[in-house]
Amino acid sequence: MKYMLIICGDESVQLSEEEGAEVDRSAQSWAAEMGSRGIRLDGNRLSPVSDATTVRVRGGEVLCSVTVRSPRQRSKSAATT
């Protein structure tokens, strides 16, 4: 049997550089250990909520809404992640 693990974080919480580095070290250490034991098969970080596409079906019609950000917002986001 296979399971999927999703770890969610609150994007509005701002960690210090030290806290962020510790979270990254811990996650990488865990992923390496699980990978070496054959438990973790694959994994990737999700894109930020601001890059989300929403797909809805209403009355048989598919509606998609894409969050469009200006180049300034994209570069600011890239600089903070």
Closest by Cα among 50, 54, 38 to 75: 50
In this prediction, residue 5 carries a pLDDT of 86
Q: Is the pLDDT at 79 greater than 90, yes or no?
A: no
Mean pLDDT, the chain, whole residue set: 82
More confident position, 69 or 50? 50
Q: Is the pLDDT at 70 greater than 70, yes or no?
A: no
Neighbours of 81 (CB within 10 A): 10
Question: What pTM did the predictor assign?
Answer: 0.54
Domain ranges of the chain: 14-45, 47-81
